[in-house]
C-alpha cells in the first residue's frame, strides 16, 4: 500500500517510519528542504530514542522516500497523512491552520485518484469538517479521517507500537474501516486488546485536546501540592504515591517539577481555552492550569532566590538540563529556558549542560559546557532542571570539590537526598521543606 505523509516533523516521521515496517511504502513530503536533504542522507533531524535503527532499516529496505516538493505527491497514493505543524498564532493564541490547508491544496492539485486524507496533526474540533466542506465542491473521491496521535517525545517508538487506544473519527464507515486496517499489524503484535474508538470528527479531535489538558491539569495540581508540602513539612513524593495508588486517579503525570513544557501541552490547552471562549463558555479549570503553569518558572526562581540568601546578582549557577524533559533535544516551551532567562535578568551567570541540547539560540548570553562536571566548575549552586538519568550517576564527591558552594537544587527530585546530605551538600528538592 502506498501511504504519503505531508510533514516530516516529529509525528510524521515517527509514524511513517514505524508504518514502513509493516510493509507499507511510505513517501514523506516536507517543504523544509534541509530536513529532506538530511533524511535523504540517511540522517534523522530529530533526536528520538530507538528511532534511528528503525529508520536505517527502512532506508535499507527502500520502503521510505523523501521529497521537498508537494508536486511530487504520488498520484497512486491511497492514504495521505497530514502531519504538519499546528502552532499557536502569536497574535491571538488561536491555532494556525495554514500549513494544514496548504497541504490540502497540494492534494487537490496533485491527486486525481480516490484517496483518504488522515488528519493526524492536532487540530481544533471543527477542522476536519471544514476540510470536508472545503474539498467537497472541488473533488470527488477524497474522504477525511481524524486520527489524533498520542506519541510522547522520548518514548514515541514504544507509544506507537503499544498505544493505549486508537481514535478514528469519520463520517465515512468504509474509510474508517480502511484506516483501522492500517493499524492491524500493531493490534496483532500486542498480546492485549487495543481499544479502537470509532467516532465522529469533533469527538475525535476533542479527545486529543481533552487528554492533553487533563494530563497537564494533573501536573499543575501536583505542583500546587508541592508548594504546600514545602510549607507544612510534607513530602511530595510520598504524597504523589499515596494519591496515585488510588486506581481512580492513577500514578501517571503526578510528578512534581519545574512545570510542563514542550510543543504540545502549552499550545493545546491554550487552544482548548480559545475554543470554549468562542462558544461563550467559561473554561475555569483549563485557564487555571494555564495560569498555574505560567507562574511556575517564577516560583522556581523565587525558591532559588531564597536558597541563595536573596542574592542572585553576580552568582555563577550551574544548570543541568535544557530540554523540556529527558529523552529529547526539544527546548520548545522548556521550563529550563524560562528559568534561565529570569535568572539572567537577576544578574546570574549561567553555565549549562544538556546531553542532547548543545546550544539554545534564545540564550546567547550563557556558557554551554561539554559535560555536567564542566558546568559545575566554580558555581555557587547546581540546579537540575531536566531529569536526564545520567545526572543521577554523576560523581558527587568530585562535584563537591569543584563547586564554590555545595548547594544542589533538584527540580525533578531525581537525586538521593540522604546520600548527598551525608556528603555535606545542602540539598533542596521540590515539594519538601527547606
Exposure string for 188-224, b = 16+ CB within 10 A, e = fewer: eeeeeeeebebbebbebbbbbbebbbebbbbbbbbbe
CB of 413 to ligand UGA, least distance (A): 11
Between 96 and 405, whose beta carbon lies closer to ligand UGA? 96
Task: Spell out, one character per residue from 321 to 350, where the chain touches ligand UGA: x when CB under 6 A holds, - when not.
Answer: ---xx-------------------------
Q: Counting contacts by CB under 6 A, is residue 178 touching ligand UGA? A: no
293-298, long-range: CB < 8 A, 24+ apart: 293/216, 293/219, 293/220, 293/223, 293/259, 293/260, 293/266, 296/223, 296/258, 296/259, 296/335, 297/258, 297/259, 297/335, 297/338, 297/339, 297/342, 298/342
Interface positions, 4-63, toward ligand UGA (CB under 6 A):
none
Angle at 335 between CA 369 and CA 231, to 5 degrees: 115
Nine cell digits for residue 210: 481533552
- Closer residue to ligand UGA, CB minimum distance, 219 or 301: 219
Catalytic residue among 115, 229, 264, 376: 264
Stretch of residues binding ligand UGA (CB under 6 A), selected from 56-64, 98-106, 211-219, 392-400: 211-219
Contacts of 129 (CB under 8 A, 6+ apart): 201, 202
Residue among 212, 217, 293, 352 that touches ligand UGA (CB under 6 A): 212
Active site residue 264: yes
Residues 227-266 that bind ligand UGA (CB under 6 A): 253-255, 257, 260-262, 264-265
- Cβ closer to ligand UGA: 260 or 391? 260
Closest listed residue to residue 120, CA positions, set 157, 65, 71, 83: 83
User: CB of 323: closest distance to ligand UGA in angstroms?
Assistant: 9
At closest approach, how far in Å is the CB of 422 from ligand UGA?
A: 28
Q: Which is nearer to ligand UGA, 131 or 167 (CB)?
A: 167
- The minimum distance between CB 226 and ligand UGA, in angstroms, equals 10
Q: Among residues 75, 80, 82, 84, which one has the least CA distance to residue 109?
A: 75
* Alpha-carbon gap, residue 133 to 107, rounded angstroms: 15
Q: How far is the CB of 209 from ligand UGA (least distance, A)?
A: 9
As annotated, the active-site residues are: 264
Q: Where on the chain is the footprint of ligand UGA (CB under 6 A)? A: 122, 149-153, 212, 215, 219, 253-255, 257, 260-262, 264-265, 324-325
Amino acid at each position: 500500500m502506498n501511504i504519503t505523509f505531508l510533514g516530516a516533523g516529529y509525528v510524521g516521521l515517527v509514524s511513517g517510519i514505524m508504518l514502513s515496517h509493516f510493509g507499507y511504502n511510505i513517501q514523506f513530503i516536507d517543504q523544509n528542504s534541509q530536513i529532506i536533504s538530511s533524511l535523504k542522507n540517511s540522517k534523522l533531524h530529530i533526536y528520538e530514542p530507538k528511532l534511528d535503527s528503525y529508520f536505517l532499516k527502512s532506508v535499507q529496505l527502500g520502503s521510505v522516500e523523501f521529497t521537498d516538493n508537494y508536486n511530487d505527491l504520488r498520484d497512486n497514493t491511497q492514504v495521505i497523512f497530514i502531519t504538519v505543524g499546528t502552532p499557536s498564532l502569536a497574535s491571538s493564541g488561536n491555532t494556525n491552520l495554514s500549513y494544514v490547508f496548504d497541504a490540502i491544496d497540494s492534494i487537490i492539485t496533485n491527486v486525481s485518484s480516490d484517496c483518504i486524507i488522515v488528519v493526524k496533526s492536532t487540530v481544533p474540533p471543527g477542522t476536519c469538517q471544514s476540510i470536508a466542506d472545503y474539498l467537497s465542491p472541488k473533488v470527488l473521491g477524497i474522504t477525511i479521517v481524524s486520527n489524533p496521535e498520542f506519541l510522547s517525545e522520548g518514548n514515541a517508538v514504544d507509544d506507537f507500537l503499544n498505544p493505549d487506544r486508537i481514535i478514528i473519527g469519520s463520517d465515512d464507515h468504509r474509510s474508517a474501516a480502511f484506516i483501522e486496517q492500517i493499524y492491524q499489524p500493531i493490534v496483532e503484535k500486542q498480546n492485549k486488546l487495543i481499544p479502537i474508538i470509532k467516532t465522529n470528527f469533533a469527538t475525535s479531535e476533542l479527545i486529543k485536546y481533552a487528554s492533553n489538558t487533563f494530563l497537564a491539569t494533573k501536573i499543575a495540581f501536583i505542583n500546587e501540592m508541592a508548594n504546600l508540602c514545602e510549607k507544612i513539612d510534607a513530602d511530595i513524593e510520598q504524597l504523589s504515591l499515596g494519591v496515585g495508588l488510588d486506581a481512580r486517579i492513577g500514578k501517571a503525570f503526578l510528578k512534581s517539577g519545574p512545570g510542563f513544557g514542550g510543543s504540545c501541552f502549552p499550545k493545546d490547552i491554550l487552544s482548548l481555552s480559545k475554543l470554549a471562549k468562542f462558544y461563550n463558555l467559561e473554561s475555569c479549570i483549563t485557564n487555571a492550569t494555564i495560569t498555574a503553569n505560567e507562574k511556575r518558572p517564577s516560583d522556581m526562581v523565587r525558591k532559588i532566590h531564597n536558597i541563595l540568601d536573596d542574592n542572585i546578582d553576580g552568582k555563577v549557577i550551574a544548570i543541568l538540563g535544557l530540554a523540556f524533559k529527558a529523552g529529547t533535544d526539544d527546548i520548545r516551551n522548556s521550563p529550563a529556558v524560562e528559568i534561565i532567562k529570569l535568572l539572567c535578568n537577576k544578574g546570574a551567570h549561567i553555565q549549562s549542560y544538556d546531553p542532547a541540547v548543545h546550544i539554545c539560540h534564545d540564550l546567547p548570553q550563557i556558557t554551554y559546557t561539554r559535560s555536567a562536571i564542566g558546568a559545575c566548575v566554580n558555581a555557587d549552586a547546581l540546579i537540575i532542571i531536566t531529569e536526564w538519568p545520567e545526572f543521577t550517576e554523576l560523581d558527587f564527591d568530585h562535584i563537591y570539590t569543584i563547586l564554590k558552594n555545595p548547594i544542589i537544587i533538584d527540580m525533578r527530585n531525581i537525586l538521593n537526598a540522604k546520600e548527598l546530605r551525608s556528603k555535606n551538600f545542602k540539598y533542596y528538592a521540590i515539594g519538601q521543606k527547606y
